[in-house]
Chains A and B, each alone.
Chain A
Amino acid sequence: DQQVKQNSPSLSVQEGRISILNCDYTNSMFDYFLWYKKYPAEGPTFLISISSIKDKNEDGRFTVFLNKSAKHLSLHIVPSQPGDSAVYFCAASGGTSGSARQLTFGSGTQLTVLP
């Protein structure tokens, strides 16, 4: 049972345009969401996160939107650059205070930014 889903395995975008990566979740206990970027043969790098008390968080070219009623979040990258080409993982977290926060990851979306 996939609790976090990234239904698009790949996405191609022209340089300078907007990239929109989508993520859906099923577990209503999730209260914190993260996006990671991963290059081949490297560990994921944290990009941006959002708490369930917010619906938007922005950091430079990256914005994450959260729609709790739809259990959907998205990552917007504007403008897209060739160096953004990587696999993007959505992750969700939820748990009791004091325990290790476990992340549930989606299967990833390969973003290719074309020059």
Chain B
Amino acid sequence: SQTIHQWPATLVQPVGSPLSLECTVEGTSNPNLYWYRQAAGRGLQLLFYSVGIGQISSEVPQNLSASRPQDRQFILSSKKLLLSDSGFYLCAGGVGNEQFFGPGTRLTVL
């Protein structure tokens, strides 16, 4: 079975600072990888997905970007954080219909 690792678990950043969240996957090769955000009291919104190294698709226009430098590594970044970027960020991986999630990163932008 696959395991999704994410870090850090929590992060407090000032407005305008950069962001880098990392996700790695164990237990499977060539997974599809996903970044989601859960805003307070709301469902999960898909931000980015990737079907392979260097291949990124964006679902919503935003202040964030994603990269996949290695098969099992997925990075979420921003050059300048906004207050509205606060939320719970989840990385997921999957092959086929099911996706497995990491533990998440709670980001607070002050």
Q: Footprint of B on A, CB under 8 Å? A: 4, 6, 32, 34, 36, 41-46, 49, 51, 89, 91, 93, 99-108
A-side contacts of B94, CB under 8 Å:
101
- Which residues of the other chain, B, contact A42 by a CB distance below 8 angstroms? 103-104
Contact A106 B101 (CB under 8 A): no
Q: Is B44 positioned at the interface, with any CB of A under 8 Å from its CB?
A: yes
Minimum distance in angstroms from A101 CB to a CB of chain B: 6
Provide the residues of chain A in CB contact with B50, threshold 8 Å.
Answer: 100
CB contacts (< 8 Å) of B99 on chain A: these are: 46, 101, 103
What secondary structure prevails in chain B residues at the interface with A?
A: strand
Within 8 A of A (CB), among B12-43: 32, 34, 36, 42-43
Find chain A residues with CB under 8 A from B104 CB: 41-43
Q: How far is the CB of A17 from chain B (nearest CB, A)?
A: 26
Give the residues from 43 to 72 in chain B that come closer than 8 angstroms, CB to CB, to chain A. 43-46, 49-51, 57, 59
Question: In the complex, what residue of chain A is closest to B104 when comparing beta carbons?
Answer: A43
Roughly how many angstroms separate A44 CA and B101 CA in the complex, as a whole number? 6
**A-B interface, 6 closest residue pairs, ranked by CB to CB distance from nearest:** A43-B101, A107-B43, A100-B32, A105-B44, A105-B43, A32-B97
A36-B101, A43-B102, A49-B97 are known; give 8 further A-B pairs, CB within 8 A: A41-B104, A44-B90, A99-B51, A100-B34, A101-B99, A103-B34, A103-B46, A103-B99
Question: Which residues in B have their C-beta under 8 angstroms from that of A101?
Answer: 32, 94, 96-97, 99
Complex Cα gap A42–B102 (Å): 8
Nearest B residue (CB) for A106: B43
B100 within 8 Å of A (CB atoms): yes
A42, chain B: closest CB distance, angstroms: 6
